[in-house]
Structure 1
């Protein structure tokens, strides 16, 4: 790594966070230009992992090479040079990356039609800082642990703007669950749910990455919570979170249960499945009910990405109940992001929030280890086998070779 010039730019798309830890200015008395191409090696402690964890000259990353909702068809593993951080960037050695249902929306080009392949895949990661630019060293140092929410996470190393990094106490996958899944549930229910104590809340795919948090936040608001899931094991997990009625839709009729046990309807629905489940949710709304659409995973693997929905009478149904349907897309609510993350971090630290992680220990191929297992992890999630947030361990813990 001695030949690397640590001020060379390492490109990365996405700008979602504004996070710093030790101020925002450059080092005292130093006025770096936008890009330094010659580095005084006396500053090497600021730029290189001097603690003994060698940085290789090349790495693997996952790249979308063609647009397709079939993740295996769209994405390829490439070996490239390890990127170098710019003046205000961090080089993060990814330990864990999170799998999201929308990974295939991204690989299909649905989020930004102007984005053409090739482009990097993955939304979120957590790991150690192993390199950084001069300005970034005013807030971070080698060995710091950070998480981030942005593109290019499916890689062994990722360059992340320092201002978009989230300092975390340790490289634990539980913190990774909060970045997208937890934040989605927290902000959506707070801003769009208008939860009131005593109301009835239905959460679909409740044992999944974001559903687990929706259950907990609705219970904290004093609501009666119904959660749908696909197995008795998941139903047991939901009950352990405080879910009042866990419905295993593979053995129970969801529509009949809602009609029989909740004849007055559902006040709030946190919905991520789409299609027939969305239709049922609309029909089950109570007067002044609110339905929050946070996704429609049942259609993501289709060509259009949207499941069939019979909405011809939707205006009448909403009018008759003074009900509403509200859409939620996390990047539209970034002004709420920092407060949400701070609050969830505090709850987790106090033992008040469960962050269930599924690393594939019970998957057919075993635990999700190494970047190549991202493909298996995506398949695993879409097969509905996960309990909690699906996470891949990209690299093993750092073992220092330092003799000091």
Structure 2
């Protein structure tokens, strides 16, 4: 293992005054692993990183997240290999597709137990030898990798994304933001004056679809489930928020745009998908990025009027595109950089929902991931749902 080794009990934080015999022989301020005793990490603040941690593991396949996933309270903190970073997670992102993963839909061949969670942001607390060329201890990083629902995670250095600060707002770009950016770039054909319908517009990815369409000078309609969400959509530029709890989406669109809309960014499925298809204008496009309304069902989706779909699309010369981020990773870096640039210039709002309005309050600790998933499926969140993982610093070497 190309990982710096030294006896534990020595404070190596960049303030060391002496060289320590290591393998290979070097003088270093990197966190270390003591192989002569037990594994022992030292973080950049000089506090003892525990040898065990909590993480969530899928122990059975089920669309019921609480049945599928188990909190493991005492698993070993992973040791970073050569070219890897050990990251202490500070914030982890909740995604609708977590249910698809825990139910086995993404890869039916995978058998439990397996790790879960897709994205996180935190600090580098230890690193393999070759990873030290590009990263330093204490550096804030974000990443997309399976197994993010854990207190610590190892990530290949080539997959880690340096960020200026550990801010939950930056977590919103990793999946939600890039999904909107790349799908709209590939299939949106956005231009000034186009009429765009975004379903679940106040959600984690919907908020970006709204803003990116507005940046392209489109007219944006956004569906949501409350007046509070409608107010949020107005605040980020949505021209016509529709509260589907109090208004019929199809009726509002037909009255406002008798000829239909040019583009639909669709993530709900079921009846909303049917409504969206029927609202398409001639030569209109619909992008499917999910169908959350059915994720918790046994099949993973609610029924749609699929039999009529070919006739509807043919009659309108319209099209439906599916979009799965994994298939567009060649575009990922460019999308991420573009989103960060828009954010830094004040042209993009990254709304984060920490769960303050949920029945039991803010989502803190891995235990609250279950509540966060439940909260997402109530449809009450505004923006990206994020869980904070606080770490107590109470042990000095």
Q: TM-score, normalised by structure 1?
A: 0.88
Confirm or deny: 8 A CA contact 1:7 1:85 kept in the other structure.
no
**Aligned match of 2:9:** none
Is the counterpart of residue 137 in structure 1 residue 114 in structure 2? no
Is the counterpart of residue 60 in structure 1 residue 29 in structure 2? no
Instruction: Please give the per-residue CA displacement for 1:126-154, whole angstroms capped at 9, x wherever unaligned.
Output: 00000000000111010000000110100
**Aligned match of 1:271:** 266
Is the counterpart of residue 321 in structure 1 residue 311 in structure 2? no
Q: 1:328 to 1:57 in 2, by over 3 A?
A: same
Equivalences for 1:180-259 in 2 at 5 Å?
180-259=175-254
Structure 1 residue 400: Cα displacement: 9.6
Q: 1:170 to 1:263 in 2, by over 3 A?
A: same
Structure 1 residue 311: Cα displacement: 1.4
**Aligned match of 1:109:** 104
**Aligned match of 1:72:** 66
Aligned residues: 371
Structure 1 residue 46: Cα displacement: 5.2
Q: 1:50 to 1:127 in 2, by over 3 A?
A: closer
**Aligned match of 1:387:** 382
Confirm or deny: 8 A CA contact 1:6 1:84 kept in the other structure.
no
In structure 1, C-alpha distance between the alignment counterparts of 2:375 and 2:343, rounded to whole Å: 26
Partner SS state of residue 49, structure 2: coil
Confirm or deny: 8 A CA contact 1:46 1:137 kept in the other structure.
no
Structure 1 residue 321: Cα displacement: 0.8
Match among 291, 294, 297 for residue 292 of structure 2:
297
Partner SS state of residue 259, structure 1: helix
Structure 1 residue 363: Cα displacement: 1.1
Q: TM-score, normalised by structure 2?
A: 0.90
Structure 2 gaps of 5+ residues are 6-21, 33-41
Is the counterpart of residue 151 in structure 1 residue 183 in structure 2? no
Is the counterpart of residue 357 in structure 1 residue 352 in structure 2? yes
Confirm or deny: 8 A CA contact 2:2 2:130 kept in the other structure.
no
**Aligned match of 1:17:** none
Structure 1 gaps of 5+ residues are 9-36
**Aligned match of 1:45:** 30
Partner SS state of residue 372, structure 1: helix
Q: RMSD value over aligned CA atoms?
A: 1.9
Confirm or deny: 8 A CA contact 2:52 2:77 kept in the other structure.
yes
Partner SS state of residue 62, structure 1: strand
Q: 1:344 to 1:398 in 2, by over 3 A?
A: farther
